[in-house]
Structure 1
Amino acid sequence: MEVKAGTAAELFTKAAQVHGKRVGFGTRLKSRLWKPTTFGEVYDEGAALATALIDMGLERGEHVGLIADNRLEWIIANCGIQLVGAADVPRGTDLTDSDITYILPHADVRVCFIENVEIWKRIQNLKSELPAVETYILMNFDQEAPAGVLHMKDLIEKGKALRNEGDRRAEERAKQVQPEDLSTIIYTSGTTGAPKGVMLQHSNIMYMIDCIPVDLGPHDRALSILPVWHIFERALEMFSIAKGCSTYYSSIRMLGDDLKNVQPTFMGSAPRLWEVLYMRILDNAQAAHPVRRFLFHTGYGLAEIYKNSMFYLQNRKLHLHKPNPLLFALGWVLHLVRWLLVTPLYGFFNVAVLERIRQAAGASLKATISGGGALPRHVDQFFTYVGIPVLEGYGMTETAGPITARTVKKLVIETVGPVLEGVEIRIVDLNHGEVLYPNPKNKYNGRGLRGEIHVKGPIVMRGYYKNQEATDKVMKDGWMNTGDIGMMTFNDCVKILGRSKDTIVLASGENVEPVPIENRLLQSPLIDHVMVVGQDEKSLGALIVPSIEGFKSLGYESLSVAELAEHPDVEKEVARAIKQEISSENGFKSFERVTDFRLVPKTFEAADELTAKLSLRRHVITEKYQHLIDEIYGRTPSEKSKAAK
């Protein structure tokens, strides 16, 4: 039975009533042993914590800091905060000191949960900049609370004692929480400067979890690997609670083992995870016996033919232009014949070869939703063809998660799926502000026309906390400007083309979207990270981090990124890769060529060059490597020429 609720407080309460004795969460004890916690136990601990928080004076509507990563204590703390009627201000333990000193004061945090003593040590050095934070609560049950810090375990025990005496203030508070109340303030990762506090109401999140296009129930198992403070993972966890699905807290490091011992039927994922898995599968295939390697490539080739024809027959091939009816009908007949011819061979190789790949990647997965960035086309194709459908979605913190999402029945490669029910989007001309889609004045209602994506509906945020200027920049008449460029395809799916703020305008006046170029370059196994540059310049350049694994396969053993960046032969290999990937044969125009590049001597890392979602922090990279960009465009003397000609 699915739980329907109007607020997070009501969701936790009803989940305990409906699914109380079922396992809600699993936490690791040893490599393959898990400690189960029921939905009822989570609620009981959360209600006890809420009672203690109320007793210490926490008011409805206050903002509570929550600095922690994925763990059972996070969901219990969140349950307690929501039952009180407060709003959490979450962040992971990888936050910087500047994040701490900016977010906690800006969010008016008085009470703050911290995962461990290590965070407390950092805060101690910053306390002079955090005068308003009165109370810190340690979450890790295996650590002793330092002087001046309360322990969450002690608060829960205190709350239980009060509840045993008949205290029901937690239930009373929970009933007072309204859908329009704030549930959370999530500070964005800061790809364009100072973080902004996204205010999300209970109604935003509750509507979102009703829209997630996956059929789960009490017998399903979800794996939690993405940061829980991100709205994407958080919405999926709330979705699992509503469905009575068990959530197991894993990590990227343990993912391979947990796919086997948990056998999840569902998980949220990021594109990078699938890129790593894709490379691992290809590396294993290349290292295999020649006969096995032949079987792998034959099986995949047959799957590609089979799935391509099947998608054509089901109208699931990407259509950016209106198909010619006659040519489409002719193609339909040809694909039907091809599909019938290849089916017997595909059936054999699907069982004998491709099933092994599915077993390694999680044979029990009925669905996985990928978000937080674009899924590279070659990775998207690979997993779709081998029979692991990755339901890519598109959304943002400001929309409480997905705006669009693929479904198993509506999976069109290179798109992010159809718009969710109850959500409206429009495509707006960047230069004139004219609505291109939906617009009956335009041919085909504006399908196939590219522009800026605006969104409207119950998922859209209230605004940015204490930042009306930033709110007014993106919100107008209920419509939110996502800052993303895209189009509505003739499959009625959305295709993302880039960021309007990322758009590079060359000196010639040509507008260039760097993301498709970067995604194509990342298909090369020799390139680990890349950022295209060229604003107001004559041509495009790129900052490239060489791949240790990729060059190891070419015989460059035991070289660090810094050593690779200084190796003249590495430069030549990267130049060849650029020329091969960014070509007219691959659909790139002459002004989209990368004419020069520099190798970066350090890998890009989260909380530095990358956000926690592994998106490029372009302003940080530009500032950090401005000297390399200057070299590309001849503004400083360079000893080397690295032109990719």
Structure 2
Amino acid sequence: MKTATLLFELLPLQLEQFNLDVCIADKKNGKWRKFSTKEAIEKSTQLSFGLMSKGVLAGEKVAIISENRTEWNFVDVAVQQIGAISVPMYPTISEDDYAYIFEHSETKIVFVSSEEIYHKAKNGAAKANVDLPIYIFDESKLTEHWSSLLENGTEEQKLEMKQRQAQINELDLVTIIYTSGTTGQPKGVMLNHKNIISNATAVSERAEYKNGHDRVLSFLPLCHIFERTAIYFYFQLGLSVYYAESLETISENLQEVKPHGFNTVPRLIEKIYDKIIEKGFALSGIKKQLFFWSVNLGLKYNPDQAMGFAYNLQLKIARKLIFSKWQEALGGNVRHIIVGASAIQPRLKRVFWAADIKILEGYGLTETSPGISIGLPDPTQAKLDYVGPLLTGVQVIIASDGEILVKGPNVMIGYYKDQEKTDEVIVDGWFHTGDIGELTPDNFLRITDRKKEMFKTSGGKYIAPQVMENKLKESVLIEQVMVIGENRKFPAALIVPNLDALASWAERHGLDKNDSDLLNQPEVRKKFQSEVDEANERFGHWEQVKKFEILKDQWSIASGELTPTLKLKRRIIKEKYTNLIEKIYGV
């Protein structure tokens, strides 16, 4: 199969090899809008000519601020084809963030999806003291519609575009992605065509899709490199991409699209699992017993180990009676789910694999385009305690302090306008990930923690909070948790409860689930203490959570405690709960 070396070559190759009736699709006002490969190319090319007419030059920056939708791809490809640089931005960030990125990147033109984002972008541009033309995807009277830029192109423009494309090299900058980060100002990660294409190709080698046939559902933000690189390998393999309406409609969209796979983050897998378990608690009698027998069986599953005849027979029964319904809930066709952005609990991988839903955990960073390693769909090589073997072309060494260092075609050019920070993380060609891990002789990688998130107690003991947090989140009652204790006598935890699960538990135990003071009831405190005690059994005495507080607030992207990929913003959370933390430690 022919391969592309430049990103804008992917769709023409798809046209040549697969010519899909549905290349990309989204749902607006209750109806699916579907674009064939040919139509996607035509829209992108018409927009390229429009951008040229507006004076956008090679190397100039074009911002895209939108949720996932087909227009996102049209702009992305249109910008690539004329040698300009895309600057994707999260719709959820603040006006101040927009102002910083507009100014820092020297953005020349902006595309937004909605009037709400238009206002934020306009205010951001005003704060940055820049006058930017802003085009909108939705129908609006506030500014020009993006379609006003669509042109068929004059002969002169067609010649100019060919000349521009002839000058584009695979090592040329194609996008600047500003990392949302958990601390400090965002950094502009510069990626070239080779960075992304090499990664898309390497990831596609691990996938179990039928080229030119299968469908995928997309709902992770396209402005994040994880989903964006995935879209490019979907283009490579000739997969039809359907964009979910929103995170709230994923269940409905899964039933409509019946995809063969999708990408997600651990938090969403945790939510799916918690909802399944809650449904199990609502059962009674033999159905309830059979449900939890199946779940407990699944939690012991190891696909790459011989489980024995008796276990395999029981698993066959569990799959037919219970786990088949899990597959149906995902649309009935899912071959595998790729999970990334942060660590997933190994037990969740086990139970989903037992349900014949393969979870392939990936590991990487924006700076590595993003993939460094990803799990294998072959059960004999699954190794669920690892994040898979290294991707093709990627090299890893483990530094003396345990940090993972990476070299390969996927490693970024550097941080935009920041050579000092670039030199801090890329030393002698090796990118310092900031993650701690282990590498087996056969190149399987295990992540043990974030180097920057590890801390010492006042007694000098190292604490790896993410490992402890994942263990605590095994409780269906714990929605989110952050382990604290840097320079303190002992670790403690801030716990965000799963309110639905807690209400269900309260009802089963004779408590008023609607009690506004439910979190402070002695029975509830006692239950959470037992959940913490159970998690503590897996850790050394110095690591164990000695105290905890249950929070009434739910953490979210909107309220500022989570990044757009649902990671904890640790510094923000510590600042927000300073008084509570002081109370925990008796200060």
TM-score, structure 1 normalization: 0.85
Do the aligned residues in 2 keep the contact of 1:199 with 1:461 (CA within 8 Å)? yes
SS in 1 for 2:96: helix
Which structure 2 segments of 5+ residues have no match?
none
Distance 1:171 1:18 in 2: 22
Match of 1:316 in 2: none
Corresponding position: 1:195 with 2:186: yes
User: C-alpha displacement at 1:3, in angstroms?
Assistant: 5.1
**Equivalent residues in 2 for 1:229-628 (5 A)?**
229-250=223-244, 251-302=246-297, 307-308=301-302, 311-313=304-306, 339-409=308-378, 410-430=381-401, 451-489=402-440, 492-555=443-506, 559=514, 563-583=517-537, 586=538, 588-606=539-557, 608-628=560-580
Corresponding position: 1:144 with 2:140: yes
Corresponding position: 1:50 with 2:54: no
Distance 1:285 1:347 in 2: 19
**Equivalent residues in 2 for 1:30-69 (5 A)?**
31=30, 33-69=31-67
Structure 1 residue identity aligned to 2:121:
I
Structure 2 residue identity aligned to 1:219:
H
Name the CA shift for 1:302/1:550 in 2 (closer, same or farther; >3 Å).
closer
Structure 1 residue identity aligned to 2:252:
D
Larger Rg: 1
User: C-alpha displacement at 1:79, in angstroms?
Assistant: 1.1
Distance 2:224 2:349 in 1: 23
SS in 2 for 1:312: coil
User: C-alpha displacement at 1:237, in angstroms?
Assistant: 0.5
User: C-alpha displacement at 1:165, in angstroms?
Assistant: 9.0
Name the CA shift for 1:71/1:218 in 2 (closer, same or farther; >3 Å).
same
Structure 1 residue identity aligned to 2:164:
R
User: C-alpha displacement at 1:123, in angstroms?
Assistant: 3.3
Corresponding position: 1:154 with 2:148: yes
SS in 1 for 2:385: coil
Which structure 1 segments of 5+ residues have no match?
314-334, 431-450, 636-645
- Deviation per CA, 1:307-326: give whole Å up to 9, x if none: 44x5224xxxxxxxxxxxxx
User: C-alpha displacement at 1:502, in angstroms?
Assistant: 0.6
Distance 1:633 1:569 in 2: 23
Name the CA shift for 1:46/1:569 in 2 (closer, same or farther; >3 Å).
same
**Equivalent residues in 2 for 1:79-90 (5 A)?**
79-90=77-88
Structure 1 residue identity aligned to 2:547:
D
SS in 1 for 2:185: coil
Distance 1:412 1:557 in 2: 44
Distance 1:566 1:187 in 2: 41
Distance 1:266 1:3 in 2: 24
Pick which of 224-233 and 122-131 moved more: 122-131
- Deviation per CA, 1:288-323: give whole Å up to 9, x if none: 242222222334455566x44x5224xxxxxxxxxx
Corresponding position: 1:214 with 2:230: no
Structure 2 residue identity aligned to 1:135:
P
SS in 2 for 1:483: strand
- Deviation per CA, 1:1-41: give whole Å up to 9, x if none: x551111122233334444453101222565x523211111
Do the aligned residues in 2 keep the contact of 1:110 with 1:132 (CA within 8 Å)? no
Pick which of 380-389 and 392-401 moved more: 380-389
SS in 2 for 1:248: strand
- Paired-residue identity, %: 32
Distance 1:164 1:565 in 2: 70
Match of 1:181 in 2: 172
User: C-alpha displacement at 1:469, in angstroms?
Assistant: 1.7
User: C-alpha displacement at 1:166, in angstroms?
Assistant: 7.5
Structure 2 residue identity aligned to 1:74:
W
Name the CA shift for 1:6/1:631 in 2 (closer, same or farther; >3 Å).
same
Name the CA shift for 1:133/1:190 in 2 (closer, same or farther; >3 Å).
farther
Corresponding position: 1:169 with 2:160: yes
Do the aligned residues in 1 keep the contact of 2:25 with 2:69 (CA within 8 Å)? no
Distance 1:565 1:488 in 2: 43
User: C-alpha displacement at 1:218, in angstroms?
Assistant: 0.9
Distance 1:193 1:175 in 2: 39
Match of 1:99 in 2: 97
TM-score, structure 2 normalization: 0.93
SS in 1 for 2:255: helix
